[in-house]
Amino acid sequence: MTLLALERVSRRDRRGAHERMLLREVSLAVDSGELVAVWGPRHCGRSTLLRVAGGIEPPDAGTVRFAGRALEGSDGALGRGIGYCSRGRPSGEAGGVLDELLMTQLACGVPRTQARARSLTALERVGAALSASRVLRELDGAEAMRVAIARALLLEPALLLVDDPIRGVDVGARDAILALLRSLTNEGIAVLLATDDATGLSGADRALSLSRGELRGLASPRLAPVVQLRRASG
């Protein structure tokens, strides 16, 4: 089932007098349980693609649909089935890991006891249970990404948008992060990740490239070829 659908989406950057196309008529469909990776160099529009896909930024043209409904004009898309993990560390670096996850839920009205239990479960789910009592700024790249994923999972997303999941992560720990994302797709969560490192494409169901706002590659899941059936003779 198509969970996320971008149809001829364009986005411009209008800073000052200069205008630049960040996304140019991008079409992309992502199914439930699919891992789609987009590779592109710096300033190619990777982060913009994820932000538009998550409804954080509106497109200037085209449509973004999530679970069949257009995101345009709807507020709070991230809280309604879409999780977003940006690269680097979560906000509030001076705070504790558990506090970071608690705040996300308390703001949504979840009772403290329940929020604490859910936070610990989420950290355990991403292999970061030991990070619960640590301070955010003390985490290394891999730990910070796990915590960011745990925080996004608290929203019980059907789609996870992940920006640069292995940037700042040691070579030896990169596969574990990618394996974690793959394991989430086994649970039915769709993952759309953007990366400037070819390692980030490893294990993806589909790998696409983004350059100067143009997306190339298989825009929708590859379907099984249609085979004409022939009536058996005799």
Q: Distance of CA 118 to CAs 102, 112, 158, 198, Å?
A: 9, 10, 17, 34
Single out the residue of 115, 113, 89, 117 nearest to residue 102, CA to CA: 115
Q: Which of 4, 5, 37, 144 binds other proteins (CB under 8 A)?
A: 37
> Does 103 contact other proteins by CB under 8 A?
no
Question: In degrees to the nearest 10, what's the CA dihedral of 59, 213, 204, 81?
Answer: -10
Q: Which of 173, 182, 219, 220 binds other proteins (CB under 8 A)?
A: 173
Q: Which of 88, 212, 219, 220 binds other proteins (CB under 8 A)?
A: 212
Q: Which of 63, 99, 197, 219 binds other proteins (CB under 8 A)?
A: 197
> What three-state secondary structure class fits 97?
helix
- What string of H, E and C letters represents the secondary structure of 1-37? CEEEEEEEEEEEEEECCEEEEEEEEEEEEEECCCEEE
Q: Nearer Cβ to other proteins, position 45 or 90? A: 45
Contact between residue 129 and residue 120 where contact means Cβ atoms under 8 Å apart? yes
Site string for other proteins, 122-161 (x = CB under 8 A): ----------------------------------------
In the complex, the smallest distance separating the C-beta of residue 201 from other proteins, rounded to whole angstroms, is: 4
Rounded distance, CA 191 to CA 164, Å? 12
Q: Nearer Cβ to other proteins, position 22 or 77? A: 22
In the complex, the smallest distance separating the C-beta of residue 12 from other proteins, rounded to whole angstroms, is: 10
Which tokens belong to 64? 């973004």
Q: Which of 171, 223, 227, 229 binds other proteins (CB under 8 A)?
A: 171
> Does 216 contact other proteins by CB under 8 A?
yes
> Does 209 contact other proteins by CB under 8 A?
yes
Which tokens belong to 60? 């200037």
Rounded distance, CA 163 to CA 182, Å? 15
Q: Kindly list the residues in this chain that would bind other proteins in the complex (CB under 8 A).
A: 19-21, 24, 37, 39, 41, 166, 170-176, 178, 197-199, 201-209, 211-214, 216-218
